Each structure stands twice: as structure tokens, then as C-alpha cells.
Amino acid sequence: MNGWTGVTLRINLSTGDIKKEATNLKDAKLFIGARGLASKILYDEIDAKIDPLSPANKLIFAPGPLSGTMAPSMGRYDVVCKAPLTNLIAGSNSGGSFGPEVKFAGYDMIIIEGAAKKPSYIWIKDDKVEIRDASAVWGKNVPDTTDALRAETDEDAKVACIGPAGEKKVLFASIMNEMGRAAGRSGVGAVMGSKLLKAVVVVGTNPIKIADPEAFEKAVMTARKKITEHPVGGTGLRMYGTNVLINILNSVGSLPTRNFHDGYFPEADKTGGETLTAKYVTRPRGCFSCVISCGRATKVTNPKYASEGEGPEYETAWGFGADCGIDDMDAIIKANYICNDLGIDTITMGSTIACAMDLYENGYITTKDTGGMAIPFGSAEMMVKMVEMTGNREGFGDQLAEGSYRLASRYGHPEFSMTAKKQEMAAYDPRGVQGIGLNFATNNRGGCHVRGYTISPEVLGVPFKVDQHATEGKPELVITFQNLTAALDSTGACLFTTFGIGADDLAALMSAVTGIPYSVEDFMKAGERIWNLERLFDLKSGITAKDDSLPERMLKDPIMTGPSKGEVNHLDKMLPEYYKLRGWDTKGIPTQEKLTDLTLA
Amino acid sequence: MAKFIMIHPDKCTGCKNCVAACSFVKEHQIRPAASRIHVYNWEREQVSVPMMCQQCNDAPCVSVCPTGAMHRVFGSSLVEYDSTKCIRCRMCVQACPFGNAVYDSVTDKIIKCDTCQDNPACVAACPVKAIEYVEEDVATRSRKKAFAKKFKDAFQEVA
């Protein structure tokens, strides 16, 4: 086979069974790979109502057909399972070289079932697959685990593992690969921990075959040129990393500040990409086949937080920064490093700490609850401490480890949680940017920015500029971005390629690599199919139209200062049209006609 | 004037576009194991270093080759490999001090960089100019000049 390897690896940790199955080519055409194909498998194989932390859940590591090829910036993979944070379908996306290595080992996907009886790891070298004892590394942080397992296997093996947070089932624990790259959101690391699976270690020496090398080379050169010549992908992200967005979002009054009380942070620049580049970056880093290199190798010299590592991304700098009312970049970066080492999603961590600070300032939690810590907004030192306590579930950290929705509910004020479907919204204020609010409310994994990144047209003006405050036309825009991203994720491509390329370039790459002709319509329809399938999973897991919402604060409390002062989100003006354009009924359920059209009936 | 491939680990992002491009050009598939260039990553330090055949003047792979398969054409800057003369004894693999001559069991050949006949695919694929194909006399100029500039700046400050 071309693009796909044709083999799916299935490992049952309860029984120790290891099977190599033929990848279902019919489904691969329809759902592409990675997020899409793995979601199809999860949908078919598990009951959506299961406890995500029970052995009945399955954990799927899934690169796409373009992962591991030289398609530019397209070496990613997804981790798909039912998520403990949201009780919805999870698909967490990560870069580095782990996804390509799975392909080189000969697999389109690794499906992990059941749960081990003792700490274990999986060692894969091409055909050879073993479940091994991980007792010696249980409890170790991510870098130490990575080093130790390489010493036991192969010094250049690619390692995806959990840290203490995953072991302790922190509901937003990440899976980390190659130390600094994260499949961050929704708690996929906790699912791995619930299976007593510490790591997946891979070495591969097989080829990925290309159906039409000549057409492929041409499509690669075209895509490379478009990506690298674009000011966002080619210049902004390379020069300043994703954190270039801090000053941009602040300048349009949509940088959520102090747990979304405000949308403007006067001290933002101290935490932005320009400051990061000037004071902390040692060099840019790139994932497999990347031509952008937005990754940041950084160093903090302040003795209090002195350390080296990767990050922060924009959402991280926001979560530990503006959202907590903190402008101490040393502390923000240190918090990021701790998340990398312990295996924690930085977005939910930052927003959960912001929620705790908000509850504290309003007197709903006191120093009695926090174990003596005073935690008003702006407490940088306490913020760093809380990250560490959460990863290890120590003291008050045990409560933070449940995420902001459960934390705020415990103290009787769920409205203090800035979540959609129990997942913390990322760094874009839905009151200042209307479309992203609709995306958060309707997103299949809750408050997620990357699966419908309307910030691109609404703020950055790519590929065209629309009014961030308008609601007209936003449902259609959100749907287009959600569908395109679903298809794009499923190829293994990075979202950032879309600043330069579109569905036509991706369809050309898919056709050349797989030999199956994908038209732009086929490609976009695959995206719509994947979105609707995820929706079906979520509906089965128990959500209803009332869950397609935003925190009350977004709908009723206007932004207090800055360029978007006075704005609220007008979800009610957009949601009915969104359902209609999606071909869903007024309860948000896909119609039979729509499902038939998408071959999902 | 001969050209050679110059590496700049300070610029390398570890993306391995060079590795993918090399195996694609040489093998028409993506197989890093068959690439003539490899990139090693140190993740804790986040440093990456590309490695490929240095085309040594006094090349151990040529010296140990019993059949003349590994050879240098007079006047050429390349160490060349003739698979028809090669008996696969792998003495070159043993002898190369850098580990840059490798036996590939899939194709039953010795694989090493041949600069793609003066047009290296890895260099074209590098998005950050961490590998360059340059004339020998200017290869190190940018590095020397960067240090020279520090002296210059210091002198100017004193003056």
C-alpha cells in the first residue's frame, strides 16, 4: 500500500494478545487516517457510555497517511480514546517524530485495549512487539522515563510516555513524546495511566511508499513554497513561535484576563513572543518534515526558576499569564516545564488555577481549603507551586487535578469554570471574537480552539478578513473550518500549514501519496463525515443541545476594558443557523438524510 | 574549486526534511534507514546534528576496500562507490571513523552520500540552511567573520 502501511497493530493489555490486522482500506478512504480513522474505530468498537478510566476504553495512537513522508509540516499523530475530562471523544494531536516512527515500524495505528495488571510499556521494533515490565520507571517524570526506556531498548527510540500526572489520573494529564511534545488535551494521559501503561517505545526501519513520486514531488514543492512564503507560517511563527499571538490578541481586546473577567491585559507584552525571543529562546525547533519551526528551545536564568526546556506556546503563556493575572515570564516558563516533566495539559492547568484564584478572591475558597496558600490573581509563586502539586495530586493539587468544572462545582459555583462541555476554553475571548465562541460551544471535544480556528480570518485576516464582532456569516465560517481541520488532522498535517495552503493542496498530496484520487470535494466531505461521526459519539455519550453552550460569563458579563470593552458573545444568534447549515435538527441531532449523504447511516 | 556540504548544528531544528528527501531521491520511497544523511537529536539540550559522508581526501573506506569499489577518480573531490565491483565485505563500514558508510540489507548495497552528483537533495530540502553546499574557500567564512565582528565591535568600543 501507498501512504498507509496497510497494517494495524492491536494490543490487549489484559490478555497480552498482540495482533496485526489489515487496515480497513474502505474506511481509510472515507476517514483518511489519524483522528478520522481512529475515531471511526473507537465509534465502532466501544460503547460511548463507558467509564473512560475503565479497561473498556481503548487508546489509539494514530499517525496519518502523510505522516512520515516529506509532505511539509505533516508528521503528526493523534491519540484517540474516550476522554475522562469531558466524557466525550478525545483526539489529542502531537508532533515530533513519534507518529512517523510508528509508520516506519510498519503500522497505520496502534490500538491498545484492556488494562495491564502491573506497570507496563510496549516495545516495538518493526515486526517485534513486546509488552514489558515498567515497574522500574513507574513514578518517574517524562525525561527520566524517556532516558531509562531508551537505555533498555534502543538509544534513538521514539518514546511516548506519561509522567506522574498520568499515573495518578489527573483528568487532564497529557501523553508526552520526545520529552517536549504533547498530546495534551482532554486527559488522554489519564486513560494511559488507568491502563497501567507507562510508555510506547518505537523504532522503525521500513519504508513509506509513495504512489506517484513525480506528482508527490511537485505537490510537496508547491505546498512548501506557499507555507514558507506566507507571512504567518514563514515569518511570524518562525521568528516568534505561537506566542506571537499574545500582543495580537491583546491588541484586539480578546486576550482573556483573570479567568475571563476581562479581555485585555495591560502587561501582556511582558509575556509575549517578542519578549520570549529576546530573552529566553536559544533556538527554534521543528517536528518531523516541518518547514515552519515554531517550536521554542528556551532557557530561564533567574535562579529561582532556572531551567531549560521547550515552550511556552501561546496558550500556555496565556494560561499561566494573563488568565491568572501574572506577568512574570520566568514563572510562566517554569510552570510550562513542570507540565512537560509531569505530563500535564498546560491550557486546562492554567485555566483551572485561574478558576481557583477567582473562587479565592470571591471568598468561595479560603486558605483552609488550599492548605494555607493565599492565591489571589497574580500570585506567580503559588501558581508554580500549584502546578507541581497538581501533577503529584498533593494537598489542594488533588482538587485542581479534577479540572476547573469539578473544582468550581465542589464549591457550589460551576459558573466560575471557563469551560465548554467541561473542557477549558483556550486563549481567545468569545466575547471579543464571535465565531470562535460558536466553535467552542459546538466543538466535539469541548472548549477547543484548534478544531475550528476561525481566529485565522476573524483576527489574523487569513485567508481573508472578517469582522471579529459580527455574527453574520459566522456559522458557515465555523463549519468550514471545523470540516477542513477534521480532514487535515486526519492526514497527519499540522494546522499551521493552513496559513499557506488549502484543501486543494492537501487533496493533491493525498492523491499523490495514496494513489487514490481525492478531489477537493472528497476531502472536505471526509472532514464533514468525521465531524458528524464525532458528534454521534458525543450524543451517544449523553450530551444534548443544551451542552452546546458557553459559560454564562461569556453571554452576560461584558468585557470590562480594552478595545472590545462592552462586548458579549451572541451565541443565540448563531447556534440555530449552525444546526441548520450542518443538516442537524433543532435539537442538534444529525438528520437521517445528512447521515445517509455522509455514508454514516 | 571544489564544493562540500557544510553543516550548521546551531541552525538545525531537527526536522529531518533532509533525511526524508535523501531517501526519496535515492530510493523513491521514504525510508530514513536508507538515507545517506542522519540527524541526531539531543532532546534534553534540544540540539540536533546532521551527519553524512565527509568525502575524506585520505579516506579509510578507500584504503581498506580490497576491490576498488570504493574509490576516488583522480582530480575529483568525491569518494565514489561502484556496486558492480563491491563484494559486500563491509570493510568500509568498519573503517569509516564517522560511521557514514553503511551496509543496507534491503538493497544489498553500501550506502553513503554522493552529493547527488553535485546537487544535494538534503541541502535543497533544508528549510533553515543548516546544511549548505558551498565552495571550500568560503565554507567557513561566515563563522570566521562572525567572530571577527566581535573583535571589531570590541575595538570600536575601546577606540
Are A291 and B40 a contacting pair at CB < 8 A? no
A 10 A CB-CB count for B104 gives: 14
Are B45 and A308 a contacting pair at CB < 8 A? yes
- Strand segments, DSSP code E, in A258-306 are 281-285, 295-300
Tell which of B11, B30, B39, B116 to mutate to test the A interface (max A CBs under 10 Å).
B30
Dump pLDDT digits (tens) for A363-389.
999 999 999 999 999 999 999 999 999
Three-point CA angle A341, A420, A323, nearest 5°? 55
Are A207 and B17 a contacting pair at CB < 8 A? no
- Secondary structure tally for chain A: helices H, strands E: 25, 18
Whether pLDDT at A193 is above 90: yes
Å from B48 to nearest chain A CA? 9
pLDDT at position B1 is 63
- Total domains present in chain B: 1
Q: Which ipTM did the prediction report?
A: 0.95
What are the structural domains, with CATH classification, of chain A?
7-203 (3.60.9.10), 255-423 (1.10.569.10), 429-597 (1.10.599.10)
Closest CA to A102 of A141, A83, A135, A129: A129
Å from B156 to nearest chain A CA? 24
Are A293 and B15 a contacting pair at CB < 8 A? yes
Dump pLDDT digits (tens) for A99-146.
999 999 999 999 999 999 999 999 999 999 999 999 999 999 999 999
CATH number of the domain that residue B92 is part of: 3.30.70.20
Closest CA to A188 of A117, A82, A87, A108: A82
Are A285 and B13 a contacting pair at CB < 8 A? yes
Are B33 and A205 a contacting pair at CB < 8 A? yes
Dump pLDDT digits (tens) for A266-284.
999 999 999 999 999 999 9
Beta-bridge partner residues of B103: B110
List CB contacts of A519: < 8 A, sequence separation 6 or more. Answer: A507
Which of B30, B43, B125 minimises the CB distance to A180?
B43
d(CA B1, CA A262): 64
d(CA A40, CA A111): 12
Which of A206, A213, A228 minimises the CB distance to B127?
A228
Are A289 and B34 a contacting pair at CB < 8 A? no
Check: CB of residue A3 under 8 Å from CB of residue A514.
yes
Dump pLDDT digits (tens) for A408-465.
999 999 999 999 999 999 999 999 999 999 999 999 999 999 999 999 999 999 999 9
**Phi/psi of residue A249, each to 5°?**
-65, -35
Reported as a pLDDT band with limits 50, 70 and 90, residue B139 is confident
Looking at the complex, does the CB of residue B14 fall below 8 Å from at least one CB of chain A?
yes
Å from B30 to nearest chain A CA? 5
Which of B16, B32, B46 minimises the CB distance to A297?
B46
Which residue in A has a C-alpha nearest to residue B104's C-alpha? A205
Which of B20, B27, B29 minimises the CB distance to A289?
B20
Single pTM value for the model: 0.97
Dump pLDDT digits (tens) for A507-544.
999 999 999 999 999 999 999 999 999 999 999 999 99
Whether pLDDT at A89 is above 80: yes
User: What's the whole-number mean pLDDT along residues A177-203?
Assistant: 98
List CB contacts of B20: < 8 A, sequence separation 6 or more. Answer: A68, A69, A70, A288, A289, B30, B32, B35, B125
User: Using a CB-CB distance cutoff of 8 angstroms, which residues of chain B are in contact with residue A292?
Assistant: 127
Dump pLDDT digits (tens) for A289-342.
999 999 999 999 999 999 999 999 999 999 999 999 999 999 999 999 999 999
Are A97 and B16 a contacting pair at CB < 8 A? yes
d(CA A427, CA A221): 33
Rounded to the nearest integer, the mean pLDDT of chain A is: 97
Find the domain containing B78 and state its range.
Answer: 3-158
Whether pLDDT at B158 is above 90: no
Residue type for position A408: A
d(CA A529, CA A486): 9
- Positive or negative, the CA dihedral A338, A342, A346, A351 is negative
Å from A286 to nearest chain B CA? 5
User: Using a CB-CB distance cutoff of 8 angstroms, which residues of chain A are in contact with residue B32?
Assistant: 104, 205
Dump pLDDT digits (tens) for B21-36.
999 999 999 999 999 9
